[in-house]
Amino acid sequence: MSFAADIVTLFPELFPGPLGASVIGRGAAQGLWSLRLTQLRDFATDRHRSVDDTPAGGGAGMVLRPDVLAAAIDAVSPPGDPRPRLLMSPRGRPLTQARARELAAGPGAVIVCGRFEGVDERVIEARQLEEISIGDYVLAGGEVAAMALLEAVVRLIPGVLGGEESHADESFENGVLEYPQYTRPQLFEGREIPAVLTSGDHGKVEKWRRAESEKLTRARRPDLLK
Ligand code: SAH
């Protein structure tokens, strides 16, 4: 069974973009995950193929119509589809490594990319869309957010990063940020690799890394330690 991602968007030509490169793209070529794109405009019903309209109550911008969006969602995700339906949204719950891990363990995801001022609230309710944010800032559309989410999820699918690599030490996996990493050359612009890392003493290396992780987390992300 492989992870099946469906994306509903007004800009399918933006994909796969970064999702076609490196290990993520290779994972798709190996059949570990798949990406299907759906053009929202194909589900418009009027002569002008309109997908948006002015906001009820007035105000700037345009809102994606619920009927057009619902038709697109129903076409890619018929009743009984076990995959979660996600809406990329700055109002959503912030994406976490834990949620990425849950999604990676599941059958896939249906991802709706918003545009303009957003989406009619009724389709969010009626299709039970889970709003997910990639951070406290506002993008012009959900496409880059969907790519960020999928990239975080797909690299966790077994086989995508290759057998020997482990996620155990990574940032957020233990509730802390990752320790500093070094590689050759031994001397770079007068800076040495910390001696403990070349000592061959695995216990000491372990202890140093744990201490550095904690120090970094305390300085940069004290919220993670709470
Ligand atoms: N008026 C909305 C923002 C609309 S931005 C508000 O204030 O909440 C247009 C679209 O970009 C959104 O529908 C969403 O799909 C996407 N988007 C913008 N910022 C995002 C973020 N931080 N995370 C996820 N998606 C985002």
CATH number where 193 lies: 1.10.1270.20
Residues 145, 220: one domain?
no
Is there an atom of ligand 1 within 6 Å of 141 CB? yes
114 marked as part of a ligand binding site: yes
Residues 111, 50: one domain?
yes
pTM of the model: 0.96
Beta strand 63-64 with 52-53 is antiparallel
Is there an atom of ligand 1 within 6 Å of 60 CB? no
The Cβ of residue 64 has, within 10 Å, a number of other Cβ atoms equal to 22
Query: Can you give the residue range of the structural domain that contains 58?
Result: 3-154
Distance CA 184, CA 187 (A): 8
The confidence score (pLDDT) of residue 172 equals: 95
Weakly modelled stretches of the chain, pLDDT under 50:
164
Q: Look up residue 5 and give its amino acid.
A: A
Helix %, strand %, coil % of the chain (to 5): 35, 20, 45
Question: Are 147 and 35 a contacting pair, CB within 8 Å?
Answer: no
- Report H helices in 52-115: 66-76, 97-104
- Give the chain's domain count: 2
Is there an atom of ligand 1 within 6 Å of 124 CB? no
In a domain, 183, yes or no: yes
The confidence score (pLDDT) of residue 163 equals: 61
Point out the domain boundary residue: 121, 154, 187.
Answer: 154
- Which pair of tokens denotes residue 31? 């059949």
Residues 110, 199: one domain?
no
Question: Are 197 and 186 a contacting pair, CB within 8 Å?
Answer: no
Is there an atom of ligand 1 within 6 Å of 133 CB? yes
| Mutate-to-test residue for ligand 1 from 54, 85, 88, 112, highest number of ligand atoms within 8 A of CB | 88
Question: Are 16 and 35 a contacting pair, CB within 8 Å?
Answer: yes
- Residue found by looking up tokens 């002008």 in the block: 48
Three-state SS at 212: helix
Question: Are 55 and 82 a contacting pair, CB within 8 Å?
Answer: no
Question: Are 112 and 6 a contacting pair, CB within 8 Å?
Answer: no
Q: What is the DSSP letter of 180?
A: P
CA of 113 relative to ligand 1 center, distance in Å: 9
The model's pLDDT over 114-137, given as tens digits with 9 standing for 90+, comes to 999 999 999 999 999 999 999 999
Beta strand 85-94 with 108-113 is parallel
139 marked as part of a ligand binding site: yes
Is there an atom of ligand 1 within 6 Å of 59 CB? no
The confidence score (pLDDT) of residue 129 equals: 98
Here the CATH number for the domain that contains residue 58 is 3.40.1280.10
Residues 55, 149: one domain?
yes
134 marked as part of a ligand binding site: yes
Question: Are 32 and 157 a contacting pair, CB within 8 Å?
Answer: yes
